[in-house]
Amino acid sequence: MAGQKHDPVGQYDSPVKRRVAIALHHYRMAFSRDTRSIFGDALALSKLSDLTRIPALVLEGGQVLIDSAAILDHLDALVAPEAALIPRSGPECRRILQATVLAQGTLEKIAAVVYERHFHLAAHISPEWEQRCASQATAGLALLEQLCAAPWFCGASFTHADAMMATTLTYAHLRLPDIVPPGAYPKLHANARACEALPAFQAAAISASETMPNS
């Protein structure tokens, strides 16, 4: 596919990175994977992505796109409108976008707790911040559970909302299992199981070697 040559940073335990890879697989766009870690390889990756964050997509010609939403907007424009994982405009587009950003905001709060616990000594963790983020994440998960339709999050079709939600739930189980207690969020779990069974998800599975480095 013209216009995209490379999908730089490859740790699939990042839901936003993983949702980009899932879209690339879903759209059958060829890409090469760079498996460096945004933490362990931060210096090298800062030369590629000024904010030292993933995902980033290097286009033919060297331009680097950052942020999963901007990258997906670029990829969506490369396929026929009816094949895109979100309509170009209209009420359905807004519904999918709102579900997607709700899932992404929930992920950000889950990740804030993960980072707080991982990068601070126990004595330096802020209980107020940790509690605030966990409450926000729980509120997000509760609303997402209410909104989740079937067979896919927004109804009849698999969309970017499914990819964002399912990768977030899988991440929560991996990095912050206490935020998803057993029996909670049955609709989200059914959705995630259906997503994780898709070939595009399986092609972007998180490997056992993807761990949180200390720096």
Query: Site residues (CB under 6 A) for ligand GSH?
Result: 14, 16, 38, 52-55, 67-69
Supply the minimum distance, in Å, between the C-beta of residue 186 and ligand GSH: 26
Q: Is 118 exposed, middle or buried (0-12, 13-18, 19+ CB in 10 A)?
A: middle
CB-nearer residue toward ligand GSH: 17 or 95: 17
Nearest residue (CB) to ligand GSH, 69 versus 142: 69
CB of 163 to ligand GSH, least distance (A): 12
Compare residues 22 and 54 and give the one whose CB is closer to ligand GSH.
54
Instruction: Answer whether 38's CB lies under 8 Å from 14's CB.
Output: yes
Q: Which is nearer to ligand GSH, 114 or 195 (CB)?
A: 114
When the beta carbons of 46 and 199 are compared against ligand GSH, the nearer one is 46
State the minimum distance, in angstroms, from the CB of residue 51 to ligand GSH. Answer: 7
**Do 159 and 153 contact (CB within 8 A), yes or no?**
yes
* Contacts with 52 (C-beta within 8 Å, 6 or more apart), sequence order: 38, 42, 45, 46
Q: How far is the CB of 70 from ligand GSH (least distance, A)?
A: 8
What are the two backbone dihedrals, phi and then psi, of residue 156, each rounded to the nearest 5 degrees?
A: -75, -25
Judged by DSSP in three states, 31 sits in coil
Q: Are 92 and 156 in contact (CB under 8 A)?
A: no
Work out how close the CB of 38 gets to ligand GSH at its nearest, in angstroms, rounded to a whole number.
Answer: 4
CB nearer ligand GSH, residue 107 or residue 141: 107
Reduced 3-state DSSP string for 140-153: HHHHHHHHCCCCEC
211-to-144, 178, 191 alpha-carbon distances in Å: 27, 18, 25
Tell me the closest approach of the beta carbon of residue 215 to ligand GSH, in angstroms.
11
